[in-house]
Amino acid sequence: MTSAVPAPPRAESDDGAAGVDTGTDTQSRADADADTDADALTAAAHPIRTGWTVLPARMVALSIVELQKIRHDRSEIYSRAVTPLLWLAVFGETFTRIHAIPTGRTPYLAYLSPGIIAQSAMFIAIFYGIQIIWERDAGVLTKLMVTPTPAPPSSPPRPSPPAPRPWSRPWWY
């Protein structure tokens, strides 16, 4: 109920879903109002970004946030840089001495470096992925989701799985 006057408590009844269907009058009136109000909103405080530029602009904005965080706490840069160097120094040097993998004329460090760099990039990506879960818990993500930031395009719909076969019949049969 939306009356401005207080109403007595309603008894528990099964009419809770009565309002699911909205009346046609309400719909058409609201649609008419929306046209005029939409103009007013668009003409609000500042011009509004639309079209394909929205998503790149948001990506830049969120990247700036991460860069600002790194600027305030540089220990993360150092720890990320030290890890691959340690890998190269410890494993690189060790494996060079024992010649565990034949690399021909390629120096062992050169052979190992692309893998170490890829591994470091993967670890950083995993770390930032976990951080998004933390941000969801903390409420940061909730607030971001109420900004005019479009969600990335969803993945294409997957085909529905095949119907299960009878238990007595193996899947290859």
Partner 1 sequence: MNASTPALEVTGLVYAYKQNRAVDGIDLHVPQGSVYGLLGPNGAGKTTAIRAITTLLPIPPGMVRVFGRDPARDQMGVRRSLGYVPQQLSADAGLTGRENVANFARLFDVPRAVRAEKVERALDAVGLLEVADRMAKAYSGGMVRRLELAQALVSSPRLLILDEPTIGLDPIARDSVWRHIGDVRAATGMTVLVTTHYMDEAEEYCDQIALMHKGRIRAAGTPQQLIASLPPEASGTSLEDAFRYYSGGAGLEESEEGGDFRDVRSTRATASRVR
Residues interacting with partner 1, by CB under 8 A? 1-10, 12, 15-22, 26-27, 30, 33-41, 44-49, 57-58, 61, 64-65, 68-69, 72-73, 137-140, 142-150
Distance in Å, CB of 118 to partner 1, minimum? 27
Going by C-alpha positions, the residue among 109, 110, 115 that lies closest to residue 95 is 109
Based on CB atoms, which residue is closest to partner 1, 57 or 132?
57
Query: Are 83 and 121 contacting, i.e. CB atoms less than 8 angstroms apart?
Result: no
88 or 140, CB closer to partner 1?
140
Angle at 31 between CA 28 and CA 36, to 5 degrees: 135
CB 116 within 8 A of CB 88: yes
46 phi/psi in degrees, rounded to 5 = -150, 160
Shortest distance in whole angstroms from residue 22 CB to partner 1: 4
Backbone conformation region of residue 52, classed left if phi is above 0, alpha if psi is from -120 to 50, else beta? alpha
Radius of gyration of the chain (CA): 29
Tell me the CA distances in angstroms from 127 to 34, 77, 120, 131, 132, one per residue in order. 44, 13, 11, 6, 9
Shortest distance in whole angstroms from residue 51 CB to partner 1? 11
Q: Which residue has the tokens 């700036």?
A: 64
Nearer to partner 1, 150 or 159 (CB): 150
For residues 102 and 148, which CB has a smaller minimum distance to partner 1 in the complex? 148
Q: From the CB of 26, what's the least distance to partner 1, in Å?
A: 6
Of the candidates 123, 95, 118, the one whose C-alpha atom is nearest the C-alpha of residue 108 is: 95
Nearer to partner 1, 13 or 168 (CB): 13
Least distance to partner 1, CB of residue 153, Å: 15
